[in-house]
Amino acid sequence: MKDDIIYLVLLGSCIGFGQFYRKFTDPEQRKLVGTGVGLLVVLSVSGFHMLHMLFCYLVSALLIIYASRKVCHLACFGFMFGYLFFFRSLSFLGYDAPPGHTNMIQMILTLKLVGLAFEVNNAYTKSKTVADGQKDTAAVAQPSLTEADRALLKLSMLDIFHYSFNYVGVLTGPYITFKTYRDAMYLPFSGKADCIGATVDKLKVIPLYAGLFLLVSYIWPLQYATSAEFYEERSFLYRLMYVWPTFFIFRMRIYTGILLSECVCTMAGVGAYPKLAGSKPGHGPSRDDYTTTATEDSSPLEYDFETVRNIDVINTERCWTFREAMKYWNMCVQYWMAMYVYKRFPSKKYRTLVTLAVSAIWHGVYAGYYFCICGAPFYLPIEDLYVKLFLKDATGQKRTVLNVLCWISKFFAFSYLGIAFLLLTVDKIWYYYSSVYHFGYVLWIVLYGAGVLIAKQRKANARREAKAGQDGAKQD
């Protein structure tokens, strides 16, 4: 709880500072003030461990600027994730472990610096395409470099430093691209968007999630799942069902933290774009002409903060399937994983597993992260199979019943895998799963086997019907 209190105080201070921060209209002043406050936040929670972040910034910035732009993204990826592993292994090497919040800062810094290296590589590749197109006079249409592309190709050490340590998102995210950061510095949208209104809308629901977190964690504390009483006196059914309240507590805690971190962005005006830009979480505007259109349009424009929206609580809770729920969870980080791991990995067969493995590595070194996150690819085919067999063509009341069953299965899967994420170590995880006879895994194996048999039977029946139809046609 001490860490949570520190976390809340820092985020609350950053949210309040946003009202003052938006008053700086000069981009250079905004950069200096934002970076100064960011360094103060990092120093206040990290102390001398702040040297880790400064070292990572220095090496990554040198790689981005001076290494070949054909491979700078791969070099930066290897260095930052390698250092992240080393950073978390300090306690095993006999050194003091960094504070928990320092770990979160290091996680976000890893995404930022590696993401920036990929942005530079993309801009370089685009510039080569433009240059080749200018030589080819027969080419009909060629891409053009945007202002953001040119800025990426002219990055300085100071630019990377400001981006790395600006107070917005430095503690817990959300992840924003360098382009989004640069737009927040140079474009006037933060002064036009309803930053206070957007922040208040998010703050309204936070007491509900925080209150539910405190209430349920008081009744069903996670620590109880590691006690002797839990395993010796509680029934199998009680132990199995205990994953539901523990994952509910986890969700409420995550909802509270992520929405507060979004409020830091909205109050500072970071991620504000006209709605006509078609912004997407993590990515930013999906239209390239949004600045021109916004300037030329004399009518008042509506603005949103979709770029920094990191979670969709309502859809996460009410959607029917596991696969769909994943899309609404930690969306800015998912964008990073999709753009820089999933789409870049050469093998289509293994890209999903590799992406989830990178996500697990990013979360930490504990075995629980791998049990949880890497367990998802084994559950998803089961869900997809049953959706195709029963839910896809269902209608009316039958579909409603199947949707509810799918929703229950979704949250059981999240909760059953999530208990490993919370218990962390192999011994605790194995002890818990053994106490419930590995019920979840056994159930999923049985369901998958049954689903495959049903699918084969349906195909066989369809072939017999088709053959019977052909024979009947021949007789006629």
Backbone angles phi, psi at 186, to 5 degrees: -110, -20
Q: Check residue 424 and give its pLDDT.
A: 87
Q: Which of 122, 363, 403, 461 is catalytic?
A: 363
Backbone angles phi, psi at 156, to 5 degrees: -115, 165
Q: How far apart are the first and last CA of the chain?
A: 80
Q: Check residue 461 and give its pLDDT.
A: 84
Residue where a domain stops, chosen among 186, 217, 252: 186
Catalytic status, residue 461: no
Question: Rounded to the nearest 10 degrees, what angle do helices 157-165 and 27-46 cross at?
Answer: 60
Amino acid at 237: L
Question: Rounded to the nearest 10 degrees, what angle do helices 50-66 and 157-165 cross at?
Answer: 140
- Distance separating alpha carbons of residues 454 and 402, to the nearest angstrom: 17
Token pair in block for residue 299: 């009518």
Partners of 304 in the β-ladder: 273
Token pair in block for residue 76: 């930066």
Q: Are the beta carbons of 268 and 262 closer than 8 angstroms? A: no
DSSP H helices in 424-438? 426-435
Amino acid at 119: E
Does the residue 314 lie in any domain?
A: no
Q: Which residues contact 334 (CB under 8 A, 6 or more apart)?
A: 281, 282, 326, 327
Three-class SS state of 281: coil
Backbone angles phi, psi at 303, to 5 degrees: -120, 155
Q: Check residue 476 and give its pLDDT.
A: 59
Extract the residue ranges of the chain whose pLDDT is less than 50: none
DSSP H helices in 376-425? 376-386, 396-423
Token pair in block for residue 344: 């870049």
Backbone angles phi, psi at 274, to 5 degrees: -60, 145
Does the residue 194 lie in any domain?
A: no
Query: What's the structural domain count of the chain?
Result: 2
Q: Which of 175, 169, 55, 31 is nearest to 114 (CA)?
A: 175
- The 3-class SS string of 161-201 reads HHHHHCCCCCCCCCCCCHHHHHHHHHCCHHHHCCHHHHHHH
pTM above 0.85, yes or no: yes
pLDDT digit string, tens, across residues 386-407: 999 988 888 889 999 999 999 9
Q: Check residue 134 and give its pLDDT.
A: 64
State whether the Cα torsion 162-165-167-169 is positive or negative: positive
Task: Provide the 10 A C-beta neighbour count for residue 110.
Answer: 24
pLDDT digit string, tens, across residues 126-176: 888 877 766 665 555 566 788 888 999 999 999 999 999 999 999 888 999
Does the residue 70 lie in any domain?
A: yes
Angle at 123 between CA 117 and CA 126, to 5 degrees: 140
Partners of 273 in the β-ladder: 304
Q: Domain limits at 417?
A: 332-466
Q: Which of 103, 121, 166, 330 is catalytic?
A: 330
- Distance separating alpha carbons of residues 120 and 132, to the nearest angstrom: 18
What's the chain's length in residues? 476
Q: Check residue 143 and give its pLDDT.
A: 66
Does the residue 460 lie in any domain?
A: yes
Does the residue 140 lie in any domain?
A: no
Catalytic status, residue 363: yes
pLDDT digit string, tens, across residues 417-431: 999 999 988 999 999
Q: Which residues contact 373 (CB under 8 A, 6 or more apart)?
A: 356, 357, 359, 360, 363, 421
Does the residue 321 lie in any domain?
A: no
Does the residue 273 lie in any domain?
A: no
Q: Check residue 473 and give its pLDDT.
A: 64
- Distance separating alpha carbons of residues 290 and 280, to the nearest angstrom: 14
- Distance separating alpha carbons of residues 363 and 111, to the nearest angstrom: 11
DSSP 8-state secondary structure symbol assigned to residue 67: S
pLDDT digit string, tens, across residues 37-67: 999 999 998 889 999 999 999 999 999 999 9
Does the residue 83 lie in any domain?
A: yes
Q: Check residue 348 and give its pLDDT.
A: 85
Q: Which of 136, 81, 87, 145 is nearest to 113 (CA)?
A: 81
